[in-house]
Structure 1
């Protein structure tokens, strides 16, 4: 009876953290879905331009993922050990790192925007649209990274509510602003990019204000910045594996046809949206696992890990059923282009079938990140990318498989990650005790 009560308490705690985390994680991809729907009515070339530009900008965030996930892991362990001030200090250094790295990326991105867009886009018109959107949207890069750092330390101290309101404030205003700028004022695709930067400015400002209110020193500490960089190396390499996959998928779709890349943009943004929905459980597990290991409680860490894995499977099955039922309706909300709509079923049913697999994979990533097991995740995901996704996706370009080939590559990628994650969880080698790993 006592064990059953404890498990119920853990589940309530998990859901208490996961629900507001869901709002934070879903806000950005939900905004991108709104953005995609608004831009989709401009035409296939503009939608293709948004697809190329958005995937490039997304890779900046993916490559710097350690600012959120790495900071959460370190802050959670310190919080579990009763060292809140030290946990918040991790957020200060992560924020400094975000500002420095973001400004560097802004400069480099402006120089490379045109050649990158030409490389990824399938035609000159789509490339021109992507360049215009990207040059404006890049001004939000430092702001995105500051928001990631803020999310990281607040998750670590198990404060999920403030990040929810901060992100909703930015994205909510921007979601209203986007159609006004794009269609109302006639700014087209550039209006979408401006609305994007406005959202990021509002959210980043709120996170900085929360950090200042904690009363800790806001000075940069070079030794801690170097330590963050060392820890983040593995997560940056992990991000590089994802970057190679998503950019390759967009490039292959763009070189298939404008309709194919438009359809891929819609389904892929839905995929990313649901991935973030499932990541809400992963974020909660990350905070709880890190806190348990910081408090030297290995048994609690194990229980959280297995419980969240089961929840991921259940939610994945539910999402699969829901989007199977919406297959005849939802695509029309994003575009009226007949060519794009005709391509969409080739990706849609892969997207539906993969939800239960993704549900397990994403939450296992959260468990292992909470334990600070970044090296394993780096190696496992790099292998899944190099030996799974990339060979299949580039073969699909040569063999003219189109969207079927792209989403077959994603299937192989996820199945390899599933096998790696389950085996690692069962081994127990991830559960290292202590405030710092």
Structure 2
């Protein structure tokens, strides 16, 4: 079990780093949809899928090096490390399926087909659970069985995603062509767009890793309490991301149409919805946070530690909602350069200095730095949004990625 947990954590970090394949595709597709450009819809789909497939194959080729470099950081025992290797060496073959699915999900969101990603995720998780029970408990294949279950589930989810895309494209009257793949200028733009998102994601991963490492230095109970609270933060962010995804698709469509009124209306509506949802999360955590912690862990010491830092989490939805929501706006507008730049500023100029100044406060100082970091991300994006709106930048470069 420990080996599976270690390897699964490693895969989560790897695949999260390539989340740009989803985000980058959405904005391009949403704008193409706004222009009613069926050629561009197919071009961005094909180029994103090819890019994802090549990246997945490269991950397989580089897997021995990845395992050699990453595994020592977990400081696992010999037995756990060996089981982690077994799991990793099998599950790595799902990388092309996972990354292509990112591209397909991004395409479906850009096409305003939100049921598609939901069905893909539900099928993948359901098949994974069933095959885990069969392979691990039924056939006794242990660690390798768990990895095989995930690989099969990922490829079945990919098959469903491809089927959905095929059905959507069946009646658009256009065809795929070789020129779509070999449009070097467009592919260069796609790589540049994904580069911005990749740097942004690495910054976010670095903050999360730093937060975990500093928490570990404060003791096992603090580490466990922080992990518990951060898991709740992930759930909150997933809830708020629903409105961000709507913003991605609808703002991108508005820019593709050249409809300024619709663009600002979408920003306003998704912003208010995000803010209300964030407020409800704060209310829920404020009223039932301690009870929730008791349900999530059966270790009283961990629950007690987590309750000490719970006020930070209670405030977080209304602080973080701004960056989650505006990320969606900037993705739809294909202005990922600003997402990258504001993230770099938030990490280098805000998070690290605040932590350094308040490090003597221990975990309270760590949570203070993390909270100010999230606020800085939102404030940076708000400033850029206001500047772009004042100078009509959103629509000035709307043909750049055609």
- Shared fold per TM-score greater than 0.5: yes
CA–CA distance in structure 2, aligned partners of residues 259 and 199 of structure 1? 35
Alignment of 1:2-21 (within 5 A): none
RMSD, aligned CA: 3.2
Distance 1:124 1:325, change over 3 A: farther
- Structure 1 residues 218 and 262, CA gap change in structure 2 (3 angstroms): farther
More displaced stretch, 100-109 vs 168-177: 168-177
Shift of 1:106: 3.0
- Pick from 161, 171, 182 the counterpart of residue 221 of structure 1: 182
* 3-state SS of 1:329 partner: helix
Displacement of 1:295 after TM fit? Answer: 0.6
| Aligned equivalents of 1:200, 1:244: Cα separation in 2 | 27
- Higher relative contact order, chain-length normalized (CA < 8 Å, sep 6+): 1
Greater mean deviation of Cα atoms: 128-137 or 241-250: 128-137
* Aligned-partner Cα distance in 2 for 1:322–1:170: 30
Correspondence 1:359 to 2:321: yes
Match of 2:100 in 1: 146
Equivalent residue for 1:62, pick from 16, 35, 39: 16
Structure 1 unmatched ranges of 5 or more: 1-41
CA 1:344 to 1:103, structure 2 compared with 1: closer, same or farther past 3 Å? farther
Alignment of 1:48-87 (within 5 A): 50=5, 53-87=7-41
Give the Cα separation in 2 of the matches to 1:147 and 1:265: 28
**Distance in 1 of aligned mates of 2:334 and 2:30:** 10
Question: How far 1:365 sits from its partner (Å)?
Answer: 0.9
Q: Does 1:426 align with 2:380?
A: no
The alignment partner of 1:82 has SS state of coil
Residue 413 of structure 1 pairs with residue 373 of structure 2: yes
Residue 271 (structure 2) aligned to one of 291, 301, 309:
309
- Find the aligned partners of 2:133 and 2:159 in 1 and give their Cα distance: 24
Residue pair 1:81, 1:435 contacting (<8 A) in 2 also: no
Larger radius of gyration: 2
2:83 & 2:366 partners in 1: Cα distance?
23
| CA offsets 1:14-39 (integer angstroms, 9 cap, x no match) | xxxxxxxxxxxxxxxxxxxxxxxxxx
Between the aligned partners of 1:254 and 1:133, the Cα distance in structure 2 is 25
Residue 310 of structure 2 is aligned to residue 348 of structure 1: yes
Alpha carbons 2:128, 2:153 under 8 Å: kept: yes
Determine the structure 1 residue equivalent to 2:55. Answer: 101
Report how many aligned residue pairs link the two structures.
Answer: 389
Distance 2:336 2:253 in 1: 17
Equivalence for 1:382: 344
- 1:183 is displaced (CA, Å) by 7.0
Structure 2 length-normalised TM: 0.84
Structure 2, unpaired ranges of 5+: none
